[in-house]
Structure 1
Amino acid sequence: MNIIFYRYKSICEPDFIDAFKVLGIDVIEDIQGMSPSVTLDEKIIHLGNLIAANHPLFVFSINYYPFIAMLCEKLHVFYVAVTVDCPVFEIFNTSVRSKFNRLFLFDKEQYNLIHDENPDCIFHMPLGAACTRLSTLLGNTSDYRYDISFVGSLYNEKDPLEKLLVKNSLPFSVKEQFAAAINSQLESEVFGYKRIKESLTSNVLSDIKNADPDFYPSNMSVFDISEYVTLNDYLCPHATYLERVKILNMIAENNYSANGYKLHLFTQSNTKTLSDKMMIHGGVDSLKEMPFVFRQSKINLNITTRSITSGLSQRIWDVLACKGFLITNYQPEIDLYFKDGEHLITYHNYTELIDKIHYYLEHAQERETIAQRGFEEVCANGRVLNRVLEIFKIITSSN
């Protein structure tokens, strides 16, 4: 039994390949997506030839590719796609309606938006962790090197709205409105973008769309996604950037330093807006170095990007699988998989975050007990292998 795995260098690919192999599946890797010089036509021809030569149970990819869906529909082969990002605008392509698709989305709100377009073929499934790989890599590592850590982008390099602001492409009135809407969101609730959406008029949203010639189009989508794109590709990254800078500066400027505690940031982003009271490191390799940061930090922070409105980001699963202690903003789906105070710690506002950092820095035994329980829960029910088994259950029930 074999599958074809379409690859494009996602950091999640190796763990899914390992999980398939554990189940005795022969994984045929299509690496055409790794080369920027390969044209779409060449990718289609190459994948079509692989399908014809190998008769796979299904073609698999991390995130969703409409051209694969259309090719698999033509050849009557299942296409399984697992999203690890949110948003993924390609899931709104008309190809999502194919009966040969098996699409798995980790964010329930995103799932709700598209599920009715193909209700028998679109599923909600959380992300997972590679517990075996991480445990093997980390071994008996137990020493602490960092007090409070955050690993990730500040999102300023992923902020097209900032580029529009720099170019002065938006009217002043529009800038005022979305600035007020974002500020209201950040002050009122920790997750999502509901208040941003409610605060902005359609005119403001269309002004942002019209200001960028590279705005993601809706002409191949099942419905007009212009508002969704504006919120998720412009306003959410900008809000995420503002929030991460605000939280990190707030922590760095707090009085942890009086007890010798330091905030450590691992990022490749431009850090010019950050306090000089934190320790700023460069980026770390996601597979080889990041797990050691998670294991060797007394407190790991998760600040979910605003476009993930309900689901749990990959960072949550990875920190727990490294036996790291995690404080994360509350997300609606946390309660489906974990118990606050038993497996991890959540915060609902910034004051609560500061207070909980203070508390758990001073209560090592509680912190380590929670980290151990979180690790055990992820390894019991949250492995990538668990997700792959669920995929096979659904695929086999479809035949």
Structure 2
Amino acid sequence: MIHEKLLIEKARNGNKTCRYNIDGQWKYLYSKYSPERINHLYEINQDTDIVVVLGLGLGYELAEIKKVTSKPIIIIEKDIFFFHELKNDTDLLNGVKVYCEDEYKQISLNKLNVQLVIHDHLIQCDVSFYNNVIKYFQGKKKMRVPVVCSFQHPTIVDDCLQAFQKLGYQTVKLPWTHKDNILKNIAKISPAYLFSVNYSEIVAEISETLKIPYISWTVDTPAYSLYYQRNLNYQYSSWFVYDESVVEDLKKKGMRNIHYMPVAANVERFQKIAISEIDRENYTSDVAFLGHSGASNEYAAIIEPRISKELKKCINELINTQCNDQSFVLKQLVNDEFMNKLEVESNLTIDRGEHPLLPRNEKLAFLLGRYHSYLERITLMSFLAGNFDLKIYGDEHWMNQKDVNLSSAYSGNAEHFIEMSKVFKCAKINLNITRSFVESGLPMRVFDVLGSEGFLVTNGKLDINRMFIDGKDLVVYRDLKDLKEIIRYYLEHEDLRNQIKHQGLETVKKKHTYEIRISKIMEIVRSSINRLN
């Protein structure tokens, strides 16, 4: 028997199996050898009044469920052809009500205690349909706590989820896996919201399919995925970005529902991290910097080895210009003539590709900006290593520098959740160097240092002046000479260091926690949903 989506076949053991057309591909829903073997352990709760099963399929699942319960069973099946295939099996369907397509909306369960049984292999036939079914039955439960479904991230996702929980949301964290598996997992949960740290187009597409609002909070630059043309058409996505200059740029290019949202600190977590005498011995230094060297960059690895001395000289001049300007001037300095020459010599095409919202000159400016940041960090750290007791934490490229003082200052990679905060607490002075291509925003390091009650010296950005007071919450340096004088001064004035780092902590606690940020994000998202509806 065949129709446009379902193909019934005979398995090797003689029982029925089937293939189903899912997004243009024929997939087996059961084994080709022993389809009746169901890899599902059924446990029906004692207080269940009625069992609602999503998917009839070939009935193997129903047969197993009937072995473990005598409670009433309802089957909801999207494809009526499965029912036609089994309608003459009176023993299997005895005492079972089958609802096909949208007939489930007629079901009245009143105050009955319902247990949903969900089969991954069957709901994949129409994930959107079964997600709506799950929403329907969840909506029957009074005062359901809204669920936020999130995804793994190496640093801050747990801080975000903790904030969601404090605000009254239930949270679920899923691993990154194949798109089809993510789709099925989300459909089974049927959350009120999807959330990820940094934007994922895969989640955005699933959001559109299931009509579930998707919230992304981008905390890294450059974030190329923000520049997809199709982002302009997504209705259920809300983008939050830590750099306001990126937000304003994308708004001008037609991107809707994108908002500025700076990062934050989990002060509560930091305050639980105690410092022992051994910690003080291991982590105390005059100056500490925790961050990547930036040595792994596209220019140094791919472009520089291929181009002429003349073009290298031109690029070095551009880099020197950037070194003398606090704004990201490389975007204005890179022109078509320069880009064309670089493409010819390097045999590297700098096109907009899948990111048409990102002009070619800006894409190349990001590449050169990463190289500039590498040179800036190496230069600055070499200077400090020769003048102060410096400890550097980050990638191993710090250790491979020609400057002996710099390589000897390398102290390994500090683990994010505990060791990082110990570094910030024990160092007399913590340094932040926000990269040149981050035009107005602040990296997590700023909030992590202050949230750990560490003393922070940082270069200037718009958000520094917007969120903090120089000389009260932290200290801002202008150039290398200024930095040297600041470090010497505050090393000699411990009382001022303590006063400033305490005030910095208080400012973060009052204005820059994850709970404050997530609360604002949800306020904006709810407003967007109301407009959409």
TM-score normalized by the length of structure 1: 0.88
- The offset of 1:341, in angstroms, is 0.6
Contact 1:265 1:280 in 2 (8 A): yes
| Aligned counterparts of 1:207 and 1:318: Cα–Cα separation in 2 | 42
- Mapped contact 1:69–1:101 kept (Cα < 8 A): yes
Counterparts of residues 171-210 of structure 1 (less than 5 Å): 171-186=308-323, 188-189=324-325, 191-194=326-329, 196-209=330-343
Displacement, 1:361? 0.7
How far 1:90 moved relative to its partner?
0.5
Out of 142, 149, 155, the residue aligned to residue 4 of structure 1 is 149
Q: Which residue of 2 aligns with 1:259?
A: none
Amino acid paired to 1:302: N
With over 3 angstroms needed to count, the CA separation of the structure-2 counterparts of 1:319 and 1:215, relative to structure 1, is farther
State the SS of the aligned residue for 1:111: helix
Do the aligned partners of 1:252 and 1:275 also contact (CA within 8 Å) in 2? no
The alpha-carbon distance between structure 1 residues 120 and 154, as it changes in their structure 2 partners (threshold 3 A), is: same
2:211 and 2:292 map into 1 onto residues whose CA distance is 40
Match of 2:19 in 1: none
Partners in 2 of 1:208 and 1:19 — Cα distance? 47
Corresponding residue number in structure 2 for 1:249? 382
Q: Give the match for residue 29 of structure 2.
A: none
Q: Which moved more, 1:206-215 or 1:60-69?
A: 206-215
Q: Of 47, 51, 58, which residue of structure 1 is paired with 2:182?
A: 47
* Alignment partner, residue 225 of structure 1: 359
Partners of 1:384 and 1:212 lie apart in 2 by 44
Partner Cα distance (1:140, 1:253) in 2:
29
CA distance 1:204–1:217, shift in 2 (3 Å)? closer
1:335 & 1:92 partners in 2: Cα distance? 28
Note if 1:60 corresponds to 2:195: yes
Task: Map 1:383-394 onto structure 2 (within 5 A).
Answer: 383-394=513-524
Residue 204 of structure 2 corresponds to which residue in structure 1? 69
Instruction: For residues 246-267 of structure 1, give each alpha carbon's deviation from its aligned partner in whole angstroms, at most 9, with x where no partner exists.
Output: 111111223x4xxxxx011112
What's the offset of the Cα at 1:149?
Answer: 0.5
**Equivalent pair of 2:215/2:237 in contact (CA under 8 Å):** yes
Which residue of the partner structure matches residue 301 of structure 2?
163
SS of equivalent to 1:81 = strand
| CA deviation after TM superposition for structure 1 residue 148, in Å | 0.5
Shift of 1:184: 1.9
Question: 2-side partners of 1:101 and 1:217: how far apart?
Answer: 26
Q: Distance in 1 between matches of 2:424 and 2:402?
A: 22
Structure 1 unaligned regions, length at least 5: 257-261
Deviation, 1:165, is: 4.8
What is the aligned length? 377
**Is the counterpart of residue 132 in structure 1 residue 272 in structure 2?**
no
**Secondary structure at the residue paired with 1:251?**
helix
Which protein is bigger by CA-based radius of gyration?
2
Distance 2:360 2:193 in 1: 32
Name whichever of 331-340 and 219-228 sits farther off.
219-228
Contact preservation (8 Å) 1:216, 1:229: yes
Asked if residue 152 in structure 1 is aligned to residue 288 in structure 2, the reply is: no
Relative to the length of structure 2, the TM-score reads 0.67
Q: CA deviation at 1:99?
A: 2.2
Higher relative contact order (CA 8 A, sep 6+): 1
Counterpart secondary structure, 1:104: strand
- 2:482 counterpart residue number: 352
State which drifts further: 52-61 or 174-183. Answer: 52-61
**Could you tell me which amino acid in structure 1 is paired with residue 286 of structure 2?**
D
Closer, same or farther in 2 for the Cα pair 1:16/1:220, shift >3 Å?
same
Change (3 A) 1:111 1:26: same
Shift of 1:375: 0.4
**DSSP-derived class of the 1:146 partner:** coil
Contact between 1:209 and 1:226, CA under 8 Å: does it hold in 2? no
Residue 305 of structure 1, aligned match among 396, 419, 435: 435
Equivalences for 1:320-339 in 2 at 5 Å? 320-339=450-469
CA shift, 1:115, in A, is: 1.8
Note the alpha carbon deviations across 1:47-90, whole angstroms, 9 max, x for none.
32233222222111111112221221232211100011011010
CA distance in 2, matches of 1:29, 1:327: 35
Q: Deviations over 1:350-378 (max 9, x none)?
A: 11111111111111101110000000100
* Residue 114 of structure 2: aligned partner: none
Query: Quick one: distance in 1 between partners of 2:218 and 2:343?
Result: 25
Question: Cα gap change, 1:224/1:46 in structure 2, threshold over 3 Å: closer, same or farther?
Answer: same
User: What is the one-letter code of the residue matched to 2:190?
Assistant: H
Q: Is the 8 A contact 1:58 1:77 kept in 2?
A: yes
Residues 92-111 of structure 1 correspond to what in structure 2 (within 5 A)?
92-97=227-232, 98-111=234-247
Matching residue within 232, 236, 248 for 1:112 = 248
Q: Tell me which moved more, 316-325 or 389-398.
A: 389-398
1:267 matched to 2:411? no
What SS class does the counterpart of residue 304 from structure 1 fall into?
coil
User: CA separation in 2, counterparts of 1:387 and 1:216?
Assistant: 36
* Residue 223 of structure 1, CA deviation: 3.1
Where structure 2 has 5 or more consecutive residues not aligned to the other structure, the ranges are: 1-145
Give the alignment's Cα RMSD to 1 decimal: 2.2
Note if 1:372 corresponds to 2:502: yes
**Is the CA contact 1:248–1:274 (under 8 Å) kept in the aligned structure 2?**
no
Q: Aligned pair 1:239/2:372, yes or no?
A: yes
In structure 2, relative to structure 1, the CA distance for the partners of 1:340 and 1:224 (3 Å cut) is closer
**Measured at CA, do residues 3 and 108 of structure 1 come closer, stay the same or move farther in structure 2, by a change above 3 Å?**
same
Q: CA deviation at 1:17?
A: 1.6
Amino acid at match of 1:147: D
Matched residue, 1:13? 157
Separation (CA, whole Å) in 2 of partners of 1:5 and 1:17: 8
